[in-house]
Structure 1
Amino acid sequence: MILSDITTIIRSRFSYQPNYISPLQHRELGKSFSEILLSQRMERAVILLKGTSLAINEVALMLGYRNSSHFYMAFREYYGVSPREYIQYLSKQYLLAYLYYRVAMTA
């Protein structure tokens, strides 16, 4: 998992143990490693879902999820909708924007 990789990198680079770093980080940033990792993953997920034609399972793998069901659950919990529902919402928004543009151009 990516979280354990981050812990290993910090331990090797700075010679700190996770039980020292984690409380220090939480005190200074107000978030744990896992909270920061989740928010970064979700921000990247939205960018990838908006800006690419990648399949949802490909996005999940790119973000470090071992399978798409874990990604689906995390995305739904974070945003309140599934990745598929989010993509459908974006498609409707793009269609509406296009239709408004067409109407404006013909007026």
Structure 2
Amino acid sequence: MCGAQLRLGAAAFCRGAALRGGGGHLNRQFKQHVGIPLADYTVKIRMGRAEQLLPDERLKLTDLAPLVGYASSSHFASAFKKYSGKSPKEYRERLQRSR
């Protein structure tokens, strides 16, 4: 599976697993089914969306956080830097220079 199919498949899987057991069961089953822990999968999806949105200079960097599932722009910025090795600002600037 890839892209939207993986997200839809994972979402359906989570609903089913949640009905069968608690959070620990869900996490184990999710990792077995998808290959990565649920928390890592969530970060990967959020950061992928952030990478899609960052080239749009009409969006302020502080406006990206809620669009990708973070309540705090500082939490988003630190998560993005951990994920990509660059802050959202550095990432955007690098994209601009490469055009």
* TM-score bucket of the superposed structures, by smaller chain: 0.7 to 0.9
Q: Which residues of 2 match residues 13-92 of structure 1 at below 5 A?
A: 14-51=19-56, 53-92=58-97
In the aligned structure 2, how far is the partner of 1:34 from the partner of 1:88? 28
SS of structure 2 residue aligned to 1:19:
helix
Deviation at 1:91, TM superposition (A): 0.9
Moved beyond 6 Å, runs of 4+: none
Aligned pairs, how many?
87
Task: Please give the TM-score of this superposition, normalised by the length of structure 1.
Answer: 0.70
Q: Distance in 2 between matches of 1:82 and 1:47?
A: 15
Q: Work out which of the two has the higher radius of gyration on C-alpha atoms and give 1 or 2.
A: 1
CA contact (8 A) 1:10 1:16 kept: no
- Residue 92 (structure 1) shift: 0.7
Query: Residues 65-89 of structure 1: CA distance to partner in whole angstroms, max 9, x if unpaired?
Result: 1111101111111100100001111
Instruction: Indicate the percent of aligned positions where both proteins have the same amino acid.
Output: 28
Question: In the aligned structure 1, how far is the partner of 2:93 from the partner of 2:38?
Answer: 31
Structure with greater helix share of residues = 1
- Unmatched segments (≥5 aa) in structure 2: 1-10
TM-score (norm 2): 0.75
Deviation at 1:23, TM superposition (A): 0.5
